[in-house]
């Protein structure tokens, strides 16, 4: 009898592993910033770590050029803002199961502005530091193309709006340390953020997981809102992704939470 039970358990384990292996990989689109405005190598390191530990199919998307700096010649600056260059392959994000966007410090042309806002409105979103501000959009309104800031869409798309810098250590918001995204990741709130935290205005329907000691939201989730899929936002700098395993674990969990999938089914290890 004992041998029979052991055999049945072994068969169940084999079946479970086989079923997990049969699932198609998670399709992730990463929309990354470009230097000199952010530290892209931290996001690249996360991409490589994720590919090592999970069955994922990653589409990497980034602007062809960065926003002008103070050293950019005036003629080039003017040309950039009058007609921002297209982001190559942005439409490929339509095929993704979930989008991780860290896009920031960039201007989008009218076509890309419409595409990007539609992606944010219709896809599960992992929002990385700075993605809810510092983007210039060109949107059609009343038959005309007008300039708009990402801040105007931040509450709707990400559930929170940037309201300034904020220093200090972080902690789990009371009653949220058992959320599936952060449960057991106690080291997360023992880190010092590589960059400062933010002040935020947040929507009524978000759940804050991590806050500053002064009560400013730093990491939050939003469940489905009508036709809008789940959203997760985190304040950690790309350097935190590169340097700390616990931050990478949190974001990986968020990917599967946002898509309502079982993380264990996609692990390679």
- pLDDT tens, residue by residue, 55-78: 999 999 999 988 888 889 999 999
* Residue extents of the structural domains in the chain: 27-261
Lowest mean pLDDT among 115-124, 144-153, 215-224: 144-153
User: Helix (H, G, I), strand (E, B), or coil: what is residue 53?
Assistant: helix
Q: Angle at Cα 236 formed by Cα 50 and Cα 184, nearest 5°?
A: 65
pLDDT, mean of residues 119-147: 91
CATH class of 27-261: alpha beta
Please enumerate in sequence order all residues whose Cβ is within 8 A of that of 34, keeping only pairs 6 or more positions apart, or say none.
40, 62, 63, 65, 66, 106
Please check the confidence at residue 171 and state whether its pLDDT lies above 70.
Answer: yes
* Cis ω for the linkage preceding 220 (within 30 of 0): no
Whole-structure pTM value = 0.90
Band (146; pLDDT cuts 50, 70, 90):
confident
Mean predicted confidence (pLDDT) in 42-63:
97
The lowest-confidence range among 94-98, 225-229, 259-263 is 225-229
């Amino acid at each position: 009898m004992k041998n029979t039970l052991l055999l049945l358990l072994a068969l169940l384990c084999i079946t479970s592993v086989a079923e997990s292996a049969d699932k198609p990989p998670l399709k992730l689109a990463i929309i990354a910033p470009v230097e000199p405005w952010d530290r892209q190598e931290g996001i690249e390191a996360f991409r490589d770590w994720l590919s090592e530990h999970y069955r994922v199919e990653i589409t990497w998307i980034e602007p062809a050029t960065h926003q002008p700096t103070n050293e950019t010649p005036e003629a080039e600056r003017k040309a950039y803002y009058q007609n921002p260059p297209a982001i190559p392959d942005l439409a490929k994000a339509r095929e993704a199961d979930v989008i991780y966007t860290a896009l920031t410090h960039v201007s989008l042309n009218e076509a890309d502005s419409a595409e990007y806002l539609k992606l944010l409105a219709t896809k599960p979103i992992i929002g990385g530091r700075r993605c809810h501000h510092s983007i210039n959009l060109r949107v059609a309104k009343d038959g005309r193309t007008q300039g708009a800031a990402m801040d105007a869409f931040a509450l709707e798309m990400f559930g929170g709006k940037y309201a300034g810098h904020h220093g200090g250590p972080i902690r789990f918001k009371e009653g949220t340390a058992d959320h599936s995204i952060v449960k057991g990741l106690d080291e997360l709130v023992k880190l010092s953020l590589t960059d400062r935290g933010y002040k935020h205005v947040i929507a009524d329907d978000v759940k804050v997981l991590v806050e500053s000691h002064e009560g400013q939201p730093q990491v939050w989730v939003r469940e489905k809102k009508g036709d809008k899929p789940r959203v997760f936002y985190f304040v950690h700098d790309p350097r935190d992704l590169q340097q700390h395993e616990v931050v990478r674990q949190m974001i990986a969990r968020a990917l599967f939470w946002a898509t309502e999938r079982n993380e264990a089914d996609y692990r390679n290890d």
